[in-house]
Amino acid sequence: MKISRRDFIKWMTASATVLGMGKVQLEQATHVLANMDYTPVIWIQAAGCSGCTISFLNMVEKDSDGVPTVDKMLTEHIDLKYHSTLMAAAAKDAMEQANPEVQMIKNNYILIVEGAIPTAQEGIHCIIGEKNHQPWTALQAVRELAADAKHIIAIGTCAAFRGVAGAGSNSTAVRSVEEVLGSGYKSKIVNLPGCPVHPYIIGETIIKLIAGIPVTKDSKNRPLGLYSEKKLHDKVNDINNCPLKGLSKTSKLGVCGNCFDNMGCKGKDDETRSTCYTRYWGIDWNNRKGCFGTGNMCIGCSSSNFPFSKIYN
Amino acid sequence: MKIKLDPVTRLEGHMKIEVEVDSNKKVTAAKSTGNMFRGFENILKGRDPRDAVHLTQRICGLCPVSHGIASVKALEASRNFKPTGQARLLRNLIQGGNYIADHILHFYHLTLLDYIQGPNRSPWKTSYDTDMRFSQSASEEMFDHYLKALEIRRKAHEMVSLFGGKIPHVMSIMPGGVTKSPTASEISDYKRLLGEVRSFVDGQYHEDVQKLASVYKDYFQIGEGYRNFISFGVFELEGSSSPNLLYRSGRYTDGQYMSVEPRRITEDIKYTWYEGKERSELRDDNTSPSLNKANAYSWIKAPRYLDIPHEAGPLARAWINGDYRKGVSVMDRHVARMLETKKVANALSLWINELNAGGQEYDSALHAGYSTGEGIGVTEAPRGALVHYVRYKSQRIENYQVVTPTCWNVSPKDNNDRMGPLEKALIGVQIQDINNPIELMRIIHSYDPCTACAVHIMTPEGKIENKFIVSTPGL
């Protein structure tokens, strides 16, 4: 069933009338909705900064790949059951939205985890909300929700590889999604590193999973194509991954169009598999240069080693 | 009777609110809890000071630019360095774009659903319709603007990415200036986007806030808090040697306008999950987590200025600058935030015309030479006053402290048992429906809390006796 976004909104708002809609009517509306082809998504935020949520909001449209903007994603493709920053419901109401049993979506939903997961002291350093009169930790949430999820997206470098949350002495013992769930979950997990992950990468991955298009992954569960098979500094198929490679080397920031090899550029880190130079950080696809146009070097924000022990030489 | 909201949604991070109500359903006590601890001190300590600009942006994906700017200002202060006027303009253009994106996000996507009912499906549906006063058609229209606002805030972020490389977490703001050299075509792209964003802000956003304010007039009387404000000032103007600011620094305490000095900030831990010194100055914080502490209820410490709680944010800035002094309430906060968005958008349209294409506004001397030093950097995040403090030795960070706006606003009680501003604002509120205390949500959201930010950065050591440098002269 396909209806236009505008029709959809009119219809939906009408069905959710603020004026005395009875329980029966509500159930009918819910039933109609259930027959529409929306993929349920539960999005849990653990120890992170919500930057990947902002990236999700920044999704840009690319018709040729069917990647939509966030408003279309929300109204036409996914049923975002739980997302603490975006959802209207709060408290108990919200917690029910994160319950696959109550929502009748077992084995049918995509679990998205943003942020790394504190595991010290049973995960008490990050509480999602109150469940059964107890604090429900991010650690519990990820474990419980993973079991019945159809797919799991670890969004951003924190969820994929611990990232900034796990740097230094890591006093709250944060772990990546894969570390928390164990190797049994490998096939379900898609890692989308990046700090934040590039908006387009989120869009394409969700659309592919919804459409049932297989996602081919590398050894670290990153989707190939969205992440390069070699590090940024290398050539792939004889083409430079990095647009600045081969240009004269500089020892100063602030000069755009030079190679930062001498300064500690993290494009040389073996796990910086980014393809950001082919993506755009602008909505009309104009701002193609991204970080490469800023006169600063790559800090390797998508590497499993990010944020490294030291960024600059 | 107790009411617990856990989680409080439509804000950044993890937050719980607990209130007690009397038999007339009036709030008599309130507790605000920050529900996440990240221990950023361990991330920064021992690292190269130049890394701080990148790492501290990762404190918060909503206001990374302000963290980046506070961080570079702290390092520049430690070196007694002033960036060029053009570099300051570029920083303003980057930070201002993020202000607009953030304020629009706050009004349309984090706040509006407290007042209108959206489509009856996730993520917009709720199980209640308490005190929803707009007609169905008015709600539909507002929700259309919710969708439009998604596009407009994204465009504001594209403005940021033109000069910042990407957003969240911009790449071009570094100690020494801005590494980005703007091109003529980027400047014209910025203008084009700003034109579109600004017409939405001046038209739709303004109109929608007015509409909300007229339908929910009673919210001009709800959620006052202390009526004390603090701001460190933001948006340095070009050309002047001692920065002239679009929003000046200062405070309004017990009816008096006064100046502020970051070193007078203290932080109390009596009701927090920390042990150590009960009251710390910005630069000598020495506490560590303590989970089993009696009476503790938050990971957020209680910052106070000369012992007194203050509110931070757009209303604080507007009040201190004389832009808006009509009242202090839920609705006044929304009005002030909207007026600020207009003012910033207007300022951006002037600044972009002053920006030179092809300028090199970065001094690479600031990329080296962090032998020994300390400094304070202050700015304003969209949601309020922000301070970074750094001390380093032999190119390594020894101590890094951050006090964020949400610490001011949603702090727990202090050592004198004085509540935080949000807690205070909740007291006395009349609740209609105990099962759906929408009034509480409305008050909480008016402060635009960001609890990832509020996670305090602390270092388990150290006093500093030598000179203390502040980034903004004249504070």
> And the tokens for A48?
């992170």
Confidence of residue B454 (pLDDT cuts 50, 70, 90): low
**CB-CB neighbors (< 8 A) of B13 in chain A:** 45, 50
Q: Is residue B414 part of a domain?
A: yes
CATH code of the domain containing A283: 4.10.480
pLDDT of residue B350 exceeding 70: yes
Give, as one character, the DSSP assignment of residue A165.
G
Percentage of residues in chain B with pLDDT exceeding 90?
83
Question: Do residues A150 and A271 share a domain?
Answer: no
Annotated binding site of A: 49, 52, 158, 195, 233, 259, 265, 276, 298, 301
Mean pLDDT taken over chain B: 91
Question: Do residues A232 and A206 share a domain?
Answer: no
Q: Is residue B199 part of a domain?
A: yes
Q: Which of A31, A148, A116 is nearest to A304 (CA)?
A: A116
* A10 dihedral zone (left: phi>0; alpha: psi -120 to 50; beta): alpha
**CB-CB neighbors (< 8 A) of A88 in chain B:** 9-10, 113, 118, 123-126
Inter-chain residue contact B42 with A53, CB threshold 8 Å: no
Which residues make Cβ contacts (< 8 Å) with residue A152, sequence separation at least 6?
Answer: A110, A111, A112, A113, A146, A177, A181, A185, A188, A189, A190
Nearest beta carbon to residue A49 from set B61, B122, B128: B61
Annotated binding site of A for [3Fe-4S] cluster: 276, 298, 301
* B313 dihedral zone (left: phi>0; alpha: psi -120 to 50; beta): left
Inter-chain residue contact A126 with B37, CB threshold 8 Å: yes
Query: What are the counts of helices (DSSP H) followed by strands (DSSP E) for chain B?
Result: 13, 17
- pLDDT of B290 reads 86
**CB-CB neighbors (< 8 A) of A19 in chain B:** 136
User: Considering only A137-146, A166-175, A235-244, B78-87, which range has the smallest mean pLDDT?
Assistant: A235-244
pLDDT of residue A285 exceeding 50: no
Nearest beta carbon to residue A252 from set B169, B177, B364: B364
Buried b or exposed e, range A143-159, using 16+ CB within 10 angstroms: ebbbeebebbbbbbbbb
Which amino acid type is present at position B328?
A: V
Q: Is residue A295 part of a domain?
A: yes
Question: Do residues A50 and A197 share a domain?
Answer: yes
**CB-CB neighbors (< 8 A) of B35 in chain A:** 126-127, 135
Q: Which of B75, B27, B120 is nearest to B369 (CA)?
A: B75
Q: Is residue A3 part of a domain?
A: no
A149-155/A109-114 β-pairing: parallel
Q: Is residue B401 part of a domain?
A: yes
DSSP symbols for A264-310: T-GGGSTT----GGGS-SSTTS----GGGGTTS----TTSTTTT-S-
Which amino acid type is present at position B175?
A: P
CB atoms within 10 A of CB B131: 16
Query: In a mutagenesis test of the B interface, which of A125, A244, A310 is the best target, namely the one with the most B β-carbons within 10 Å?
Result: A125
pLDDT of residue A298 exceeding 50: yes
pLDDT of residue B291 exceeding 90: no
Percentage of residues in chain A with pLDDT exceeding 70?
85
Q: Is residue A258 part of a domain?
A: yes
Inter-chain residue contact A294 with B6, CB threshold 8 Å: no
Which residues make Cβ contacts (< 8 Å) with residue B22, sequence separation at least 6?
Answer: B28
- pLDDT of A288 reads 55
Question: Do residues A294 and A171 share a domain?
Answer: no
* Peptide bond before residue B168 is cis, with ω within 30 degrees of 0: yes
- pLDDT of A238 reads 84
Question: Do residues A57 and A104 share a domain?
Answer: yes
Chain B: nearest CA to A265, how far in angstroms?
13
CATH code of the domain containing A49: 3.40.50.700
- The mean per-residue pLDDT over the stretch A145-153 comes to 98
Chain B: nearest CA to A213, how far in angstroms?
25
- pLDDT of B160 reads 95
A260 lies in which domain range?
A: 228-313
* CA B414 from centroid of its chain's CA atoms: 21
B186-238 pLDDT per residue, tens: 999 999 999 999 999 999 999 999 999 999 999 999 999 999 999 999 999 87
Q: Is B407 annotated as a binding residue?
A: no
- pLDDT of A293 reads 86
* Helix H or strand E segment including B214: helix B206-215
Contact in structure between B374 and B78 (CB atoms under 8 Å) = yes
User: Considering only A63-72, A91-100, A171-180, B451-460, which range has the smallest mean pLDDT?
Assistant: B451-460
| Secondary-structure percent of chain A, ordered helix, strand, coil, rounded to 5 | 35, 20, 45
> And the tokens for B223?
């959620």
A109-114/A39-45 β-pairing: parallel
Dist. CA B275–CA B288, nearest whole Å:
6
Query: In a mutagenesis test of the A interface, which of B38, B113, B139, B459 is the best target, namely the one with the most A β-carbons within 10 Å?
Result: B38
- pLDDT of A155 reads 98
Chain B: nearest CA to A220, how far in angstroms?
23
Question: Do residues A221 and A295 share a domain?
Answer: no
* Helix H or strand E segment including A41: strand A39-45
Inter-chain residue contact A168 with B45, CB threshold 8 Å: yes
Inter-chain residue contact A307 with B60, CB threshold 8 Å: no
Dist. CA B279–CA B37, nearest whole Å:
19
- pLDDT of A237 reads 85
Nearest beta carbon to residue B11 from set A19, A85, A91: A85
Length of chain A: 313
Please, is B268 exposed, middle or buried when counting C-beta atoms within 10 Å of its C-beta (0-12, 13-18, 19+)? buried
Which residues make Cβ contacts (< 8 Å) with residue B207, sequence separation at least 6?
Answer: none
Dist. CA A307–CA A170, nearest whole Å:
13
pLDDT of residue B459 exceeding 60: no
pLDDT of residue A243 exceeding 60: yes
CB atoms within 10 A of CB B133: 12
- pLDDT of A286 reads 45
**CB-CB neighbors (< 8 A) of A58 in chain B:** 154, 157, 167
Confidence of residue A37 (pLDDT cuts 50, 70, 90): confident
* B250 dihedral zone (left: phi>0; alpha: psi -120 to 50; beta): left
Give, as one character, the DSSP assignment of residue B244.
P
Question: Do residues A171 and A222 share a domain?
Answer: yes
- pLDDT of A17 reads 42
Q: Is residue B131 part of a domain?
A: yes
**CB-CB neighbors (< 8 A) of B187 in chain A:** none
Name B34's bridge partners.
B15
Chain A: nearest CA to B188, how far in angstroms?
12
- pLDDT of B282 reads 85
Inter-chain residue contact A51 with B58, CB threshold 8 Å: yes
Question: Do residues A58 and A83 share a domain?
Answer: yes
* Helix H or strand E segment including B4: strand B2-5
- pLDDT of A245 reads 86
Inter-chain residue contact B14 with A126, CB threshold 8 Å: yes
DSSP symbols for A62-82: BGGGTBPPHHHIIIIIEEEEE
Number of domains into which chain B is organized: 1
- pLDDT of A218 reads 97
DSSP symbols for B270-323: TTBSEEE-SEEETT---EEE-TT-TT--BSS-EEEETTB--B-SHHHHHHHHTS
B413-430 pLDDT per residue, tens: 999 999 999 999 999 999
Dist. CA B68–CA A294, nearest whole Å:
15
Inter-chain residue contact B38 with A196, CB threshold 8 Å: no
**CB-CB neighbors (< 8 A) of A54 in chain B:** 61-62, 157, 167-168
* A300 dihedral zone (left: phi>0; alpha: psi -120 to 50; beta): left
Question: Do residues A114 and A218 share a domain?
Answer: yes
B18-36 pLDDT per residue, tens: 999 999 999 999 999 988 8
Inter-chain residue contact B129 with A127, CB threshold 8 Å: no
Contact in structure between B58 and A195 (CB atoms under 8 Å) = yes
Q: Is B453 annotated as a binding residue?
A: yes
Inter-chain residue contact B180 with A256, CB threshold 8 Å: yes
- pLDDT of B242 reads 60
Question: Do residues A88 and A115 share a domain?
Answer: yes
B332 lies in which domain range?
A: 2-454
Q: Where does a domain end: A205, A226, A247? A: A226
Confidence of residue A22 (pLDDT cuts 50, 70, 90): very low
CB atoms within 10 A of CB A250: 20
Dist. CA B198–CA B191, nearest whole Å:
10
User: Considering only A105-114, A173-182, B189-198, B294-303, which range has the smallest mean pLDDT?
Assistant: B294-303
Inter-chain residue contact A127 with B164, CB threshold 8 Å: no
Give, as one character, the DSSP assignment of residue B431.
P
Inter-chain residue contact A13 with B119, CB threshold 8 Å: yes
DSSP symbols for A245-263: TTSPB-SSTT-TTSB-GGG
Q: Is residue A290 part of a domain?
A: yes
Number of domains into which chain A is organized: 2
Confidence of residue B13 (pLDDT cuts 50, 70, 90): confident
**CB-CB neighbors (< 8 A) of B62 in chain A:** 49-50, 54
Chain A: nearest CA to B94, how far in angstroms?
12
Give the CA angle between residues B90, B94, B95 to the nearest 5°: 115
- pLDDT of A50 reads 96
Buried b or exposed e, range A127-137, using 16+ CB within 10 angstroms: bbbbbeeebbb
Inter-chain residue contact A164 with B62, CB threshold 8 Å: no
Inter-chain residue contact B16 with A127, CB threshold 8 Å: yes
- pLDDT of B455 reads 56
Nearest beta carbon to residue B172 from set A124, A283, A295: A295
Question: Do residues A70 and A126 share a domain?
Answer: yes
**CB-CB neighbors (< 8 A) of A17 in chain B:** 117, 136
* Helical axes B136-164 vs B85-104, angle rounded to 10°: 160
B361-401 pLDDT per residue, tens: 999 999 999 999 999 999 999 999 999 999 999 999 999 99
CATH code of the domain containing B346: 1.10.645.10
* Helix H or strand E segment including A83: strand A78-83
Q: Is residue B462 part of a domain?
A: no
- The mean per-residue pLDDT over the stretch A161-182 comes to 95
Size of interface A-B (CB pairs under 8 A): 297
**CB-CB neighbors (< 8 A) of B440 in chain A:** none
Q: Is residue A174 part of a domain?
A: yes
User: Considering only A142-151, B83-92, B278-287, B442-451, which range has the smallest mean pLDDT?
Assistant: B278-287
- pLDDT of B475 reads 27
Question: Do residues A114 and A248 share a domain?
Answer: no
Q: How far apart are the first and last CA of chain B?
A: 46
Dist. CA B309–CA B423, nearest whole Å:
11
Q: Is residue A22 part of a domain?
A: no
B79-109 pLDDT per residue, tens: 999 999 999 999 999 999 999 999 999 999 9
